[in-house]
Structure 1
């Protein structure tokens, strides 16, 4: 790997932006100072922000690469490579693909979860982003329990979430348009889908014991756990008692407040911030952020959202950029137990973005360094200069 020097940019060091140079060697930041050093690659970041790489602990936009239309499948390796390009170009240097293993056949089936995990493991060396596996377990999917316990024990799962969309499924079955999308996703006939839902709900009494066993397996494997769409402080407390310390998308302020008071990590979706509210009509993320009830923003279903959300929070005077950026870098890194990234500091992993913020609310990622490698560059002319106006931007030392 080639050493890199970044100079003249406005770097986010702690809670301040300062014009300072950073030297990268191997995978790490080895020196931060105000002097201009030397390295085989020197990048002049004048006029650009130098920011920690984005950490995304919950993103399922890759599903659209796998199945861009209902019933239209593309190979998983093609989908994952394209998703990696999308993530990196939007500044995401650590990505947890949030794969749902449901009781449904089709896109969220066990077969798809297995193929996805195997493909991530096989292709991981090719990806520019540090790519990890976040398993979203539908709690009514009782038949998956034994295999998931094996995956946890084998260290194949990086984050483990408890999901329960059964009540929503039953409610949506009464809405023709939503029901049609659900049935199309599974590939079943309408009658077969009804029969399957009836069979699954008949086993509801067995769900709590299964959750307890899986939580115990995750604790033994030291895998961090999330609970999805917590409905009440009591629900959050019950999951916390089982070692589930991350509240993912609590659906009301009361639950988010209780989670914050208990010291839980709290995740909301960055698209919620960018769009000005939840597409489901639930909690408005920017309100929760303003009240201190959010520590992580995830891409959720749209990779550009984290980058856009940080600048939106700053522009709306909800948080200054440094604190807003922590929601997409330091906060998710801490929640996921990744102590080597999320901030620009000596000895930390060199996941670094160069961002052009000249146009309000439309930040543009100009370059991405991931684990010390320059993996993305969109504006070589700006960094390298032109014949008419040369700049010492990328030069041999």
Structure 2
């Protein structure tokens, strides 16, 4: 691979932005402000050059898998399209939040196996580094063989502990942000004939492609095995620790919940739902993840704490694409315009910090020796930016630029 010199861009470095030229060769950044020395020159004056995004939780790929309710697309087609979207949005490393649930359909273990196997087959053809966040519904022991195989694979996944079962069954008088610790013996369960529950079940059943009555019967059987769940969690956490896989817990609403998962090795707090959890996570030194759409929109669509407010308070370390890949760049635009923090500090939320949380020390910043995961932006003053080119380990991933010159 011949050397390239991205010349004259405004470069987002660790603590500052400065006009510089960045040389890349053999997949690495090899110098800043060096001579051309025979490199292919990428003219970048007036552009922004930044570390490419590291997305540790994105489930927008589900829209490619199921473009309409109950309509499934071929898995390889869906993943190839997802890969194109990642590259065009400046995402060089993506952890697909693959939900492994007891539900049939889109989030079933069967669909999970299809995605895992398709990614293995497609790996040589993909542009971005497509990894997995095994977003495991803890009431689903049927997923354990898949988790074990994925953890032993070459692209070390992350394991996220997810409990939508207790959330789904929560009594309507209890706000979801105040949901008790999942394992309390007197957990407040909704009456199955409550109007809100009936409506929710109808929506869930449609996605799972079964009748509402069938869904309730399935949910009842799942809830009946509640006493077995802590043992399943302990076993999967031990397996992840043995493989050195990063672990996260999702939607924690109580400090007790965060402490429980931290004790098992899940040191990343993903989408905390209450101020007390943010504070408990910060006191323990746990990285805190929020959604980039939250930051881009100016608030959570679920009524959880706002990302901008938490960033300003030092209670958010990472922004993930969640359900919308363009939101990572969109969040940078909104937070920069609102002067929440200087742009180099904001950019760490979507590059360096998520890379470190996942144990990826070779990316996330522009410095000699780092992987050449870069995004070149056209960002006129007071206007929306547009990605012009993405590099993934020095390889061209996406380009809207004219051909380079020597």
Same fold (TM over 0.5): yes
Match status 1:201 vs 2:223: yes
Match status 1:84 vs 2:106: no
Q: CA deviation at 1:157?
A: 4.8
Query: Per-residue displacement from partner, 1:45-85 (whole Å, max 9, x unpaired)?
Result: 01001100100010010000010111111101111111111
Q: Quick one: distance in 1 between partners of 2:308 and 2:61?
A: 25
Query: Per-residue displacement from partner, 1:68-109 (whole Å, max 9, x unpaired)?
Result: 111111101111111111111111011111100001010001
Residue equivalent to 1:387: none
Unaligned 5+ residue runs, structure 1?
A: 385-393
Q: CA deviation at 1:31?
A: 1.1
Q: Quick one: distance in 1 between partners of 2:90 and 2:70?
A: 31
Match status 1:290 vs 2:312: yes
Q: How does 1:1-397 map to 2 (within 5 A)?
A: 1-33=1-33, 35-154=34-153, 157-171=156-170, 174-175=195-196, 176-360=198-382, 362-380=384-402, 394-396=404-406
Q: Quick one: distance in 1 between partners of 2:22 and 2:361?
A: 19
Query: Per-residue displacement from partner, 1:164-201 (whole Å, max 9, x unpaired)?
Result: 00133235974354332211111111211110000000
Q: Quick one: distance in 2 between partners of 1:149 and 1:130?
A: 21
Q: Quick one: distance in 2 between partners of 1:79 and 1:146?
A: 24
Note closer, same or farther for the CA distance 1:9–1:157 as it changes in structure 2 (3 Å cut): closer
Q: CA deviation at 1:370?
A: 1.2
Query: Per-residue displacement from partner, 1:224-248 (whole Å, max 9, x unpaired)?
Result: 1000011111111111111111100
Q: CA deviation at 1:209?
A: 1.4
Contact 1:56–1:332 (8 Å) recurs in 2? yes
Q: Secondary structure at the match of 2:117?
A: helix
Q: Quick one: distance in 1 between partners of 2:10 and 2:143?
A: 49
Q: Quick one: distance in 2 between partners of 1:294 and 1:39?
A: 43
Q: Quick one: distance in 1 between partners of 2:383 and 2:405?
A: 32
Q: CA deviation at 1:139?
A: 0.4
Contact 1:277–1:283 (8 Å) recurs in 2? yes
Report which stretch shifted further, 193-202 or 162-171: 162-171
Query: Per-residue displacement from partner, 1:113-150 (whole Å, max 9, x unpaired)?
Result: 00001111111111111111111000011233344234
Contact 1:135–1:157 (8 Å) recurs in 2? no
Q: Quick one: distance in 2 between partners of 1:53 and 1:154?
A: 25
Q: Quick one: distance in 2 between partners of 1:236 and 1:43?
A: 47
Equivalent pairs counted in the alignment come to 383
Note closer, same or farther for the CA distance 1:55–1:156 as it changes in structure 2 (3 Å cut): closer
- Give the alignment's Cα RMSD to 1 decimal: 1.6
Unaligned 5+ residue runs, structure 2?
A: 173-191
Report which stretch shifted further, 55-64 or 148-157: 148-157
Q: Quick one: distance in 1 between partners of 2:9 and 2:161?
A: 42
Contact 2:14–2:345 (8 Å) recurs in 1? no
